[in-house]
Every structure is written in C-alpha cells, then in structure tokens.
Amino acid sequence: MWYDELPKMLRLICLFLLLYSSHAQSEPITLRQSCINSLQAYKSFFKVEALAEVCDKVEKKEICNSSNGVPIFHLDQKSKLEKPKKILVISLIHGDETQAGSLGRFWMERLMKVDARNTWRVIPVVNPDGVKNKTRTNQKGVDLNRNFPTADWGDDAVKLWEKKEQKSPRKFPGFEAGAEPEVKCVISHLEEFKPDFVISIHTPLKVLDFDGPKLKNPPSYDYLPWKSLGNFPGSLGRYLWVERNTPVLTTELKNSLPETGTVFEQLQDLVGTLVKADLK
Ligand SMILES: [Zn+2]
C-alpha cells in the first residue's frame, strides 16, 4: 500500500493530519461558543465578562435552527416576584439591522445583574443567516416579518407584495405562510412561553410603535417618540395583536448607537412598567 512505502516520519505526519482533521470535524461548536461568536459583534455597554455570563446560560429549542442550520438560542431570566408577567424579546428578525443586536445584547447582560420585576425571555438573533449575509431577509430571501401565518396571508401577502411593494426583494413574504424555519422557531416560543407582551427590535425608523390596547398613560421616552406604523399580512404585529390579543411593541432604533447604555436601560424599565401597570 502507498502508505507503507512512505518514510516513517512522513507516515507519522499523515497520521497526525488525519487524526487532527477528524477531531476538528467531530467537535461541534457549543451553544455557548455560538452565542459568544454571534453577540460579540455588537457593541456592549457592560464589561467584556458580561457576555460570557449570558452565554453560559443560553438555551436552544430543538426546532430553533436557521435554514443554514445555525442555532437560534435564547436566554430565560425569571423574576423572583410572585405571578410575574412574561415578556418575550425578539431581535434581529431582519439581519441587516445591526443596532438591534446591541439592544438585545444589552438587555440580556443587564438581566444578569438586576432582579427583574417581570420574567424575560430574549431571542437576540432570530435571523442568523441574514446577519451573516448582511440582508434583511433570511437565507431563502424571505422577509420573516411577512411570513407569520396570519389569517389573511393566503389572500393578501403575495398580492400586497406585488402591488404595494412592487415585488421588492427585501419584503418577499415567502412561498407558504409560516414555512420558514426561523418563523417556526418564534411560533414555538410563543406557544410554549405564552408571553404577556412581545418586543420586536428593529431599525432605523426612530419610533416606538405599539400594537396593543389603548394605553391610559403612554410613558414618555425622549429618545424615541410613539408612532403607529400599522401592521401587515404575515407581520408579527398582526399575528399577535390583531389575531391573538398579545400586545407587541416594535422599537425602531436609530442607525447610530447612543453614547451610553442609559437610554437602553430606560426603555427596558419603561416596558417593565407598562406591562405591570397598563396591561392587567
Ligand atoms: Zn426591521
């Protein structure tokens, strides 16, 4: 055999390379490492160790993988108070909205340090393939925020996309309602976690858009004004609020980050207060 005819040293090198490559292939990346790899790209206002603390605690549902098989992980932080409300944060459903990643990361890191009034679940990167490709859409070119299986999806989603959006590739609702793996992951979270309130983080429209009951006293937030943007066939707002009565706050951040984390803290506290006071 060719192998036996090689000089001994060369044989050893071959063997080493063979073992090394099979070892490298068989060692899957851990969820912790996957979390660090994806979130370290976003600016944090905490010390660097804060990310490791978060990533030590993240989990993943079996169904939660992107089209490319990248894990879609989440962090659970339970309130110690009795009967807390449950808040679900969904970030980077659009892969090119980078600052959404910073807010998701900030809230997770902060939740490790405070005793929260509510129970929080954060899914910081819903569309990892879009993040990698720097696209709004997922790997298959679908706008995930138009792919939720709303009752009107079959009649309206594609029609609206063709007429109103002039077939913009950024807003393609997909071939079938709720068929995208990332949407299936979010729906599985909604069904199991049963949030009282959902926050969806986007950029760059610089507003707070609320799909929910009329607020008695909408708390003021100087960094972003309240403005209703409406909802669409296949959007999370229509799926959750219009059809399921779960309020959704869409935070449309600016394209540039604030200088400190204070406004991110204020927004998290504002949500906590809103959920406690206004949504009984
Ligand atoms: Zn967006």
Q: How would residue 208 be classed by pLDDT, with cut points 50, 70 and 90?
A: very high
Q: What is the pLDDT of residues 12-46, one digit of tens each?
A: 665 666 555 555 555 678 999 999 999 999 999 99
pTM: 0.89
Give me ligand 1 centre to Cα 2, in Å.
Answer: 58
Q: What is the pLDDT of residues 223-238, one digit of tens each?
A: 999 999 989 999 999 9
- Does the pLDDT value for residue 239 go beyond 90? yes
Give me ligand 1 centre to Cα 203, in Å.
Answer: 6
Tell me, what's the pLDDT at 2? 58
Give me ligand 1 centre to Cα 102, in Å.
Answer: 14
Q: How would residue 199 be classed by pLDDT, with cut points 50, 70 and 90?
A: very high
Q: Delimit the domains of the chain by residue range.
A: 46-278
Q: How would residue 57 be classed by pLDDT, with cut points 50, 70 and 90?
A: very high
CATH superfamily to which 46-278 belongs: Zn peptidases (3.40.630.10)
Tell me, what's the pLDDT at 118? 95
Residue 71 structure tokens: 């894990």
Give me ligand 1 centre to Cα 93, in Å.
Answer: 7
Which amino acid is it at 6?
L
Give me ligand 1 centre to Cα 202, in Å.
Answer: 4
Tell me, what's the pLDDT at 40? 96
Residues in CB range of 127: below 8 A, 6 or more apart: 66, 92, 93, 94, 95, 138, 144, 182
> Cα dihedral angle (230, 207, 213, 109), rounded to 10 degrees?
120
Give me ligand 1 centre to Cα 69, in Å.
Answer: 22
Q: What is the pLDDT of residues 98-124, one digit of tens each?
A: 999 999 999 999 999 999 999 999 999
- Report the distance separating Cα 58 and Cα 196, nearest Å: 21
